[in-house]
Chains A and B, each alone.
Chain A
Amino acid sequence: MPGIIINGVEIEFDEDGFMIVPDLWNEDVARALAASEGITELTDDHWKIINYLRDYFKQYHIAPMVRKLCKETGCSLKYIYDLFPSGPAKGACKLAGLPKPTGCV
């Protein structure tokens, strides 16, 4: 996925569409990424999850356990898949500007 220019800043992505420099994240980046994931509109529930992921990542430098994400946001895993068709790791984390999860995930 080629880089795009948002608000005058060039944002680069890796082959899987994850941000190479997560610090450059802003809401417009999330919207651009949503379009690439086939999500037409970011609803309040989308933002709730994105913001939770960002806050957690800021504090712990890692994405939360999926179970914790569900519990803290009150969204079932199935609902998260409805919101982000690629799932919590490859969909929601991507939109929140988190790095791509590695390992056996």
Chain B
Amino acid sequence: MPEYKGMVQPVRATLEEMRKIHIEPVPDELKPEKAIEYLDQIRKKFRSFVMAMESCTKCGQCAENCHTYLGTRDPNNIPTNRAELIRKIYKRYFTLEGRWFGKLVGAEDISLDVIEQWYSYFYQCSQCRRCAHVCPFGIDTCEVTFIGRQLLHWLGITPKLHASVGAAMERVGNHTNLPKPGIVDTLEFMSEEIMDEFGVEVEFPVDKPDSDIMYIPSSADFLLNPYTLMGAGMFFTYIGANWTIPSTVTEAGNFGLLFDQYWTQRGNVMRLLNAAQELGIKKIVWGECGHGWRAAKMYIPSLADRPVRWPIVHIHDEIANMIRNKELKLDPSKNSKPVTLHDPCNYVRACGLNENMRTIIRAVTTDFREMTPHGMDNFCCGGGSAILFDDPEMYQRRILLSQKKAEQVRATGVGKNGDGILCAPCSICKAQLYPMVEEHELGVEVKGLVDLVGKALVWK
């Protein structure tokens, strides 16, 4: 089982799997030396990383604000200590204080053990940025674990889950290996289901030329989240949009953000821009996916290899705007069960969706209860950054990491009668929470937000 000197670690991609995503793993004996070389290259580029390395005062405020530390009580899961796993190396090789005072300031020589520590702890970080949000300086540990994971990837250490998703993205343009026939068949099935359940005719156009709107759903919606897909289809039909789903990039997520921003993430961005150009669309509307929305909204401008001619908005932005303009007729009594909202971290701390999600949920439900804390102060579901590993040790970790979320949900009382709804409009949150609400016996069903909109639409 994957464990290294008492540290839990996710299952690694094999040599062939790494080669599929263009990485030739570095042999173990060369790893320490190469790690320093790569770190030296990358540290000079990112100021966010330099500042995280050089301006922490170790006040300790991040500790109790990290769901990973709260769940595991492992000192290395305190955000500043997690960053310290790289900082101790950074100090030793790239700062005067580290070279002169060594252990006194916590500097340490690089070794294979340190690299294995990185692998264990950087993949327990959900990159939710709550530490950045509470840090008096705004130090973003997510930037440290991004770079830590990038270094590991270049060394040839990547979780099997992330590597296989990277390969799927390159092969078919989505995380789940969905080929076009599978996409079309599932969407036809969705049309039938909508007709059966809601009595309306909804078509899901795929690769329709000269569409106005390109909708980018999460590929997980095609396997696990039918109502999110149906809700989006019903919304676009309801407003009479000329829309389409591109089969070449049926993916709102971009795991590249989470382990390889240099190649994997960039590749998917180009794919998206190509699809937008080929289909002649005017605006890109993003589906429910937290990290993917951050990758799209905040990273496409800096990763694109050409001017981005299409505004990119989130489906929640547009729905909320229409609700404010009173363009949608909604019947909140269609969602009358008690409901609480889990704020996906990337939505509220990186993408400003805070208010819009609430505008929508208040308009489509009758018994909405806020969690404490919520909005930008919210805690992660414990699956953030796709640490959705399912080998036994890592799965146990996921239960620990979702403990804080479970407490929060329980405190709202929505699941008291076993019929509550936990609205978690992000594919990673959904994938994490589907099993976790069972593990913690929360008495709630996990739903997306578009799911609830679809149900509440009044057609005539």
Q: Which A residues have a C-beta under 8 Å from some C-beta of B?
A: 14-16, 59-68, 89-90, 99-105
Contact = CB atoms under 8 A, between A and B. Distances in A.
A75 B222 CA distance: 19
B224 A102 contact: no
B388 interface: yes
Interface stretch (B35-43, B70-78, B157-165, B360-368): B157-165
B182 A102 contact: no
B224 A61 contact: no
6 contacts: A62-B179, A66-B224, A67-B226, A102-B164, A102-B177, A103-B165
A103 B390 contact: no
A64 B176 contact: no
Contacts of A104: 175, 218, 220, 224, 253, 289, 386, 388, 427-428, 430-431
Closest 7 CB pairs of A and B: A103-B175, A62-B182, A104-B427, A60-B182, A104-B220, A103-B176, A104-B431
Given A67-B189, A102-B165, A104-B431, 14 more contacts: A61-B181, A61-B182, A64-B186, A65-B186, A67-B193, A99-B177, A102-B175, A103-B220, A103-B427, A104-B175, A104-B220, A104-B289, A104-B427, A105-B176
Contacts, number: 78
Contact of A16 (B181, B386, B391): B391
Nearest to A72: B189
A62 B226 CA distance: 16
Contacts of A105: 176, 220, 223-224, 388, 431
Interface of B: 11, 160-161, 164-165, 168, 174-179, 181-182, 185-186, 189, 193, 218-220, 222-224, 226, 253, 289, 386, 388, 390-391, 427-428, 430-431
A60 B11 contact: no
A14 B12 CA distance: 11
Chain A contact residues: helix, strand, loop or mixed:
loop
Contacts of B430: 104
Nearest to B227: A67
